[in-house]
């Protein structure tokens, strides 16, 4: 197969050479990430069921989850959840195979609860969450075209990726990972799951702004609250020094203080802001890179919950990043930045995209013509093995948010 792979040399500043850079990560407990996590968990569970019962993954896209925030009254030493968070599952699935009815709603509901239980240990599942499932069966036209053995694209869509990560990107992503790690939670249980990290670099200074929900029962008063905040700030600064040589200013829960006065606390009962009015939905948060990068090319595609076999919005976004990373890795110092876009066309085989477009920024003095063939080969090779991604999605080995 001869694929339409375009390799273009860009003469421009790389992201890290530019004056301003902005990077955001919505942590695992942010309502948008909760939605993504549920959508992907439901897709994984359905996929496993289909594989077990029918030997292949049947059509589904469970990329529609709406988290409607509850109401709570947090207070030092422990407050109350007043109204449960309402979680609506929608999307579609294959609900019948011959005469077999698939327990799709039960699978979806169970996957949701298991995801929440695994990630957020302060939730009381009998009182804090209500789950509703309106997953339906799919559009007639699309189901007809969808035959997983042919592996044709389900849509005219595209994926984008880039490499390498800048310091700001690495810092934002790793900071949230650190703060939501099991190890960190056991050391500093007062810091909850809803952690939003924003990195804003202007020239060589990175401002790292963190909004972190506290778990109220682990904080006895305002003094302890602000003491923990100081401690957290030091930990983040220390972590920053391991990631970057740039100057990093750390700001935590900036709404707590106004003009130098302490004016409030960011407390929650469960460590999740969705307990108190914060809503979320799939596809509005992190990209498949784990971060939001408005200074980088991005796809609007909601990857979480999409079927991992033929949905190019899921496959091509991940694939683009993998190709970009391969190129940077293999071509070493000659290449300073790579952007990859892969465009599908509905009905076309997924391993044969309409175009795979690679844009490369070379280091000074490098001759692009020396790299073009190898770059093409890298993209070609990855596309040859695109089906490998499916298994990795099902096993949860690739994160999409």
Nearer to a copy of itself, 81 or 322 (CB): 81
**What is the residue whose two structure tokens read 């460590």?**
271
Rank residues 297 and 391 by Cβ distance to a copy of itself and give the closer one. 297
Least separation in angstroms between residue 84's CB and a copy of itself is 5
Shortest separation between residue 263's beta carbon and a copy of itself, angstroms: 8
Residues 207, 202: Cα–Cα separation, whole Å: 8
Q: By C-beta, is 107 or 232 nearer to a copy of itself?
A: 107
Q: C-alpha 286: how far from its chain's center?
A: 4
> Which two structure tokens, joined as six digits, stand for 206?
């990175």
With respect to a copy of itself, which residue has the nearer C-beta, 48 or 391?
A: 48
- Cα separation values, 12 from 168, 243, 363, Å: 19, 26, 10
The torsion region of residue 271 among left (phi > 0), alpha (psi -120 to 50) and beta comes to left
Q: Which is nearer to a copy of itself, 114 or 395 (CB)?
A: 114
- Give the Cα separation of 133 and 106 in Å (integer): 9
Q: What's the closest the beta carbon of residue 211 comes to a copy of itself, in angstroms?
A: 7
Q: Which is nearer to a copy of itself, 152 or 382 (CB)?
A: 152
Q: How far is the CB of 16 from a copy of itself (least distance, A)?
A: 14
- Residue 213, φ and ψ in degrees, nearest 5: -70, 130
Compute the least distance from the CB of residue 391 to a copy of itself, in Å: 25
How many whole angstroms separate alpha carbon 255 and alpha carbon 265?
8
- Pick the closer one to a copy of itself by CB: 28 or 292: 292
Two tokens, residue 125: 């599942």
181: number of Cβ within 10 Å: 11
Cβ 186 to a copy of itself shortest distance, Å: 26
User: Least Å distance between CB 309 and a copy of itself?
Assistant: 18
Rounded Cα–Cα distance for residues 338 and 341 (Å): 10
Residue whose CB is less far from a copy of itself, 345 or 391: 345
CB atoms inside a 10 Å sphere around CB 158: 22
Least separation in angstroms between CB 354 and a copy of itself: 7
> Given the complex with a copy of itself, which of 76 and 295 has the nearer CB atom?
295
Task: State in angstroms the smallest separation of the CB of 231 from a copy of itself.
Answer: 21
Taking alpha carbons only, the member of 113, 116, 136 closest to residue 31 is 116
Comparing CB distances to a copy of itself, the nearer of 295 and 391 is 295
Give least dist CB 302 to a copy of itself, A.
Answer: 6
Of residues 300 and 363, the one with the C-beta less far from a copy of itself: 300
């Amino acid at each position: 197969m001869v694929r339409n792979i375009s390799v273009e040399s860009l003469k421009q500043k790389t992201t890290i050479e530019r004056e301003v850079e902005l990077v955001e990560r919505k942590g695992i407990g942010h309502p948008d990430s909760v939605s993504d996590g549920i959508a992907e968990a439901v897709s994984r569970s359905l996929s496993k069921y289909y594989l077990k019962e029918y030997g292949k993954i049947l059509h589904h896209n469970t990329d529609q989850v709406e988290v409607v925030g509850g109401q709570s009254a947090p207070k030092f030493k422990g407050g109350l959840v007043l109204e449960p968070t309402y979680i609506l599952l929608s999307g579609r699935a294959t609900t019948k195979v011959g005469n077999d009815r698939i327990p799709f709603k039960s699978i979806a509901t169970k996957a949701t609860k298991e995801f929440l239980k695994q990630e957020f240990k302060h939730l009381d599942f009998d009182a804090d969450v209500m789950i509703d499932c309106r997953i339906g069966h799919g559009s007639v036209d699309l189901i007809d075209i969808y035959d997983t053995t042919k592996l044709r694209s389900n849509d005219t869509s595209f994926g984008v990726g880039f490499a390498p990560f800048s310091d700001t990107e690495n810092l934002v992503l790793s900071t949230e990972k650190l703060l939501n790690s099991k190890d960190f939670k056991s050391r500093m249980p007062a810091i909850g799951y809803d952690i939003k990290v924003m990195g804003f670099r202007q020239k060589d200074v990175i401002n790292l702004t963190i909004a972190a929900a506290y778990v109220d029962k682990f904080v006895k008063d305002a003094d302890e609250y602000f003491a923990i905040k100081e401690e957290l700030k030091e930990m983040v600064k220390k972590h920053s020094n391991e990631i970057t040589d740039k100057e990093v200013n750390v700001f935590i829960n900036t709404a707590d203080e106004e003009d130098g006065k302490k004016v409030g606390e960011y407390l929650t009962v469960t460590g999740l802001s969705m307990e108190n009015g914060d809503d979320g939905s799939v596809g509005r948060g992190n990209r498949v890179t784990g971060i939001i990068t408005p200074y980088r090319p991005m796809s609007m595609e909601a990857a979480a919950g999409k079927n991992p076999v033929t949905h190019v919005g899921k496959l091509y976004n991940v694939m683009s990043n993998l190709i970009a990373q391969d190129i940077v890795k293999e071509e070493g110092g000659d290449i300073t930045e790579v952007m990859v876009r892969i465009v599908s066309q509905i009905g076309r085989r997924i391993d044969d995209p309409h175009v795979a477009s690679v844009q490369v920024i070379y280091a000074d003095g490098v001759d692009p013509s020396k790299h073009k063939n190898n770059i093409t080969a890298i993209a070609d090779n990855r596309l040859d093995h695109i089906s490998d991604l499916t298994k990795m999605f099902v096993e949860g080995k690739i994160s999409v948010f």
